[in-house]
Chain A
Amino acid sequence: MAQLVYFSSASGNTHRFIENLGSPALRIPRNKEERLPAVNKPFVLVLPTFADGNGHGAVPKQVIRLLNDAPTRSLLRGVIASGNRNFGRFFAFAGDVVSQKCGVPLLYRFELSGTDSDLHRVKHGITEFWKRQS
């Protein structure tokens, strides 16, 4: 059984999305002094976007720390990113960056803490995605 790994900043938007999704998920700590979760099976990453007007700084530092670990990175299968459409072409841009850096598909994008439709699509999509993976 695969899993979700997610990062949520102090605003808690992504955390609320994961809670509402109700699937088991490992949280990447906000504090860089805390230990990263031990990931030992294939996973989908869920992360928010913090890009500036030029797209820089999109991926939270703690997520970069996790992905810098090659054995963990090799288990990454896909990415789901959140953001705000107000940021124009950099909406959910962290998903594009991770997708390109790690060569995994960008599975879905949603805004802030997500709507009911987002939750429905992600639940359904993740189930189908893992079926195809196995």
Chain B
Amino acid sequence: MTIHAPASGLTRAVPKAVNWNRLQDDKDLEIWNRLTVNFWLPEKVPLSNDIQSWATLHADERQLTIRVFTGLTLLDTIQNTVGAPALMPDALTPHEEAVLTNIAFMEAVHARSYSSVFSTLCQTAEVDDAFRWSEENAFLQAKSQLILNEYDAASSPLKKKVASVFLESFLFYSGFYLPMHWSSRARLTNTADLIRLIIRDEAVHGYYIGYKFQRMLETLGEAEREEIKNFAFTLMFDLYEIESKYTESLYDGVGLTEDVKHFLHYNANKALMNLGYEALFPDSVCHVNPAIMAALSPNADENHDFFSGSGSSYVIGKAVATEDEDWDF
């Protein structure tokens, strides 16, 4: 309800109860329902089934994986404790505030999930090392600082949302790549299932915050809109530069850097689309490895639809959940 404590002597604004039967924006209820239906906890994923698979990884691959997950934990921690709460004072509706509390909590669940992976698969000492590494890694710290600068209360509501969407829809993906890579090679498949739940949540978060950004942007004049757009693209360039170096520092050793960068470009474009902007990176640098795409979305193969396939045949969807009281036929 964005009520700030008044200085003594001033009258406090009337506290108002949130009424979900009087909506100003249908999107709030739509997203609330989506997020609550999708609620999960790491205990539902049988991570211990990955113990044998973990043992087959080389020492450097294990270290890489722990570091990548620690980096993701840091971003989730920032979003949980600073990012989502920072958006609340700017909420346009009381329902938006409620949705943001859900987003904040799920980020805590995500951050907590990586620790479940660690306690199931790893030695305490190697995990402690990785947490120390995350505090000392210049690239990880640099991108966190750039985002946190925008979350400062002095920053504009729109700039906070841009930073938030870039964190949710772009910065995570240098990390998400690795479990998808392992999964495509039948390694750590249960861990990958857990990461997919996180990936699904982040898509809803990025979409919703991007949507609220667009609602707020449309109230501004042409010049201000142009200024925000310049800010967004400049921040994307700055973050991309750091992400490139972070990616090289992590993945050069396993020879995956180029592949990861295509994945970064592809996701940077999606982050911009969530804000209502056009893509930045041309399709020629967004050729994500099909094995990674398949690990992300098992039915995303090119032959699934008519225009992408040979054109001689098409797939009518398999048994699908079409039951819905609204269909008349």
Contact = CB atoms under 8 A, between A and B. Distances in A.
Interface of A: 9-13, 16, 50, 52-59, 61, 64-65, 67-68, 70, 73, 78, 84-89, 91, 93, 95-97, 99-101, 103, 105-109, 111-113, 115-117, 121-122, 124-125, 128-129
In the A-B complex, list the 10 residue pairs whose CB atoms are closest, starting with the nearest: A96-B317, A125-B307, A86-B203, A112-B273, A85-B297, A68-B328, A105-B314, A100-B317, A108-B307, A55-B321
B8 to A, nearest CB: 42
Contacts of A109: 300, 304-305
B311 A128 contact: yes
B305 A52 contact: no
Given A113-B273, A129-B306, A85 B314 contact: no
Contacts, number: 140
A116 to B, nearest CB: 6
Give the interface size class of chain B. 35 or more
26 contacts: A10-B215, A13-B273, A16-B276, A50-B30, A52-B34, A56-B324, A67-B327, A68-B327, A84-B270, A86-B199, A86-B200, A86-B202, A89-B297, A89-B298, A89-B299, A97-B320, A101-B327, A106-B305, A106-B315, A108-B306, A108-B307, A109-B305, A116-B282, A116-B283, A128-B311, A129-B307
Nearest to A53: B38
Given A85-B297, A89-B299, A54 B321 contact: yes
A55 B273 CA distance: 23
A105 B320 contact: no
B306 A125 contact: yes
B274 interface: yes
B115 to A, nearest CB: 23
Contacts of A65: 326
A88 B296 contact: yes
B308 interface: yes
A58 B320 CA distance: 11
A56 B286 contact: no
Contacts of A73: 329
Contacts of A88: 196, 199-200, 296-298
A115 B38 contact: no
Interface stretch (B105-113, B121-129, B206-214, B233-241): B206-214
B222 interface: no
Contact of B305 (A11, A103, A107): A107
